[in-house]
Structure 1
Amino acid sequence: MTANEYGFDTLAIHAGQEPDPRTGAVVPPIYQTSTYAQDAVGAPRLGYEYSRSSNPTRDALQECLAAIEAGRRGLAFASGLAAEDTLLRTVCRPGDHVVIPNDAYGGTFRLFSKVAERWGLDWTAVPLDDLDAVRAAFRPGHTRLIWAETPTNPLLNIADIPALAGLAHEYDAMLAVDNTFASPYLQQPLALGADVVIHSTTKYIGGHSDVVGGALITADAGLGDELAFHQNAMGGVNGPFDAWLTLRGIKTLGVRMDRHCDNAERIAGYLSEHKAVAQVLYPGLESHPGHEIAAKQMSRFGGMVSFRAAGGPEKAVEICNRAKLFVLAESLGGVESLIEHPGQMTHLSAAGSALEVPADLVRLSVGIETVDDLLADLEQALG
């Protein structure tokens, strides 16, 4: 099944998930096995030998991921960072250079600064919404990747995917886009010129805060084959039950994202008029500097809202601690609403660096609860 044949929600429910041919089971089985009987030496059944290399449940997930991102190959991993690490070690070599956002996710920054740098990968952090700055950061012959997030975590900045793709390809580099915040339902970077899409499937794709996973989806089958080799060689795959949970989450991705967006739009509007809020960061607001680009490359603006507390860092922490319905927790993209202080939680690894986030910043992952209940909780938390 491909995006050319069917709509998004149909693909999410059916791609890679045909009824089991033996029993007729409508939901793909969980193949909870590590190894497979072979018919003869060197003759595995349907190519299955060992579940690190391939597993029918994971294969179903990977086919579905490729379909909903309109890609040629989908690969599933044990976490988003396992996917990121596999991508870097596949396409980069010691001495190569990568351009990253100057407000990248803290875990991504840690991967570059504390892990990849040690084996010889260099990187430069620039605002990706400034194409002149991106071009100036390029090192012809050495820059292998532009690594983009859009919207970014947690400042919700917007990068122009087609423009970055054009710039990367001009220098014979690749564009990798972390599409976690938008989800494939709201944005499809491969169709806009990106070479690889990255996901923490823990977030919106899984959608229920009950599984950790990651994914890579490629536009080119050859690159997909290279990544698949490294996926097996490095071994950072997810187990069959995790793959099954993620596949279950995908089935409702479209309807969940519609509610996430509905609620986030209401909350962003409410916060923008509250005296305890100094600034709201949400690309759906016309005041957002990336609003026009987001409107071109996203169907809607997502369920993540960040804001800066008018009372400074102490007030931001107080708001997080006072929230009740918004659960004080890291991660995002689940059906329940979460609140966090990025500076002391998800982005602590960037403290003291050029990527340090503002200390007065609060990040909301807006869930799918009754929006009036969420607004009431924010009202009491803001004081």
Structure 2
Amino acid sequence: MHIQTAAVQTLRDHEHGAVVPPVHLASTFELDAATEDAAYAYQRGSNPTRAQLEQVLATLDGAEHGFAFATGMAATAAVFSTLQVGDQVLLPASVYGGTFRFVDKVFPSRGLTGRFVDDLGALTDADFTPATKMVFVETPANPTLRITDLRRLVELAHRHGALVAVDNTFMTPVLQRPLELGADVVVQSATKYLAGHSDLLAGTVTTNDPALAEAYALAQKAQGGVLSPSDSFRLIQAIKTLPLRLDRQQANAEQIVAHLREHDDVTTVFYPGSHSEDEARIHASQATGGGAVLSFELAKGLDRVRFIQALRYPVYAVSLGGVESLICRPATMTHEAMTPQARAAAGISDELLRLSVGIENIDDLIEDLDQALAAAR
């Protein structure tokens, strides 16, 4: 089954023939008095609607197990919950600011260490110690869109007994399938492309490892950061249009990238594969497209604030992946938790702008960018 079909052919209400599954809002469920057993007992542990969503998530990622959380960071926290005191995690220097905050602020109190690496693609055996238990990677990285060779990283990490966790938010299973490349776990902020309308928060985790699956189920039950039945239902419905939305968003982004690269008022444009021919080759080998996020810097002398204020369509706001275009300044918005030194190491300048491209008409978007650039001169 192709992913476009899998996204639509979700579970149905076979009892009543409804093409849309019902929402089960119950917080508690009746048990058998003799055995005190049932498929569901309490919503935090499991819920029929959330279970349906988790089956969809697993199917899309080609996984045996799927888990839905209340936010993307709750999902990331669940992935980190498998670590023990003394463990080390390797991460890219250019990583989502929320993940950086978790490593910087929460890891120390748990006896964990995180090491931020300028280029995960340059890791060697010497970078691993007995304490290194996980490599957490974003490819493309946020917001520099740097690419990491997942096959090479998996082989290297597994040789040292370390897990590989991939944040696949930018690509989604439509464009990149890390589990099929050997990764142990995939995490996504479903708030972004999976939900796609900037109107709900959610996070997902998928894996084929039964031991990890048991740990993530425990994280749901013990920590309680689960997705509600109502939002689970809404996410099921949103996923049905994910391939269509992303196809349009990516087509728009590709045209904007080409336009900005030829524009005198723009000096640098980052898009997956733009850093080097080697990264372009790697990305083409492990993904089927560049996605719909790009970053760029204005030419020297242009007024960044005037440019943003002049835009009519992209909204100046955090987040990405919605049907509407969004633009942000990572240094002070998505990555404000990072120190200036950390941002510099990650290649995130104060002038870098990140554009999440929506499904608007491409001519309108390009015309808007051009008039805003003219206003910034």
For Structure 1 versus Structure 2, the TM-score category normalised by the shorter chain is: over 0.9
1:20 pairs, out of 4, 13, 16, with: 13
Say which SS state the counterpart of residue 24 (structure 2) adopts. Answer: coil
Alignment of 1:194-343 (within 5 A): 194-283=183-272, 285=274, 290-311=279-300, 315-343=303-331
Asked whether 1:31 is paired with 2:21, we answer no
Say which SS state the counterpart of residue 226 (structure 2) adopts. Answer: coil
The CA deviation string for residues 269-294 of structure 1, in whole angstroms up to 9 with x for no partner, is 00101111111001265966621111
Aligned partner of 1:60 in structure 2 is 52
Asked if the contact 1:99–1:143 (Cα under 8 Å) also holds between the matched residues in 2, the reply is yes
TM-score (norm 1): 0.93
Asked if the contact 2:121–2:149 (Cα under 8 Å) also holds between the matched residues in 1, the reply is no
Asked whether 1:181 is paired with 2:176, we answer no
TM-score (norm 2): 0.94
- Structure 1 residues 44 and 24, CA gap change in structure 2 (3 angstroms): farther
CA distance in 2, matches of 1:355, 1:124: 14
CA distance in 2, matches of 1:117, 1:196: 23
Give 1:359 deviation, angstroms: 0.6
Asked whether 1:345 is paired with 2:333, we answer yes
Asked if the contact 2:146–2:273 (Cα under 8 Å) also holds between the matched residues in 1, the reply is no
The CA deviation string for residues 3-43 of structure 1, in whole angstroms up to 9 with x for no partner, is xxx1111211224x1x2133222111111121112232543
CA-based RMSD? 1.6
Amino acid at match of 2:111: G
1:157 pairs, out of 131, 137, 146, with: 146
Q: Which runs of 5+ in 2 are unaligned?
A: none
CA distance in 2, matches of 1:319, 1:302: 24
Asked if the contact 1:284–1:300 (Cα under 8 Å) also holds between the matched residues in 2, the reply is no
Aligned partner of 1:81 in structure 2 is 73
- Structure 1 residues 238 and 131, CA gap change in structure 2 (3 angstroms): same
Asked if the contact 1:317–1:341 (Cα under 8 Å) also holds between the matched residues in 2, the reply is no
Amino acid at match of 1:130: G
Say which SS state the counterpart of residue 372 (structure 2) adopts. Answer: helix
Number of residue pairs the alignment of both structures matches = 371
The CA deviation string for residues 91-121 of structure 1, in whole angstroms up to 9 with x for no partner, is x111100000010010000000011222111
More off after superposition, 36-45 vs 330-339: 36-45
Aligned partner of 1:3 in structure 2 is none
Amino acid at match of 2:88: H
- Structure 1 residues 40 and 382, CA gap change in structure 2 (3 angstroms): same
Give 1:255 deviation, angstroms: 1.1
- Structure 1 residues 235 and 267, CA gap change in structure 2 (3 angstroms): same
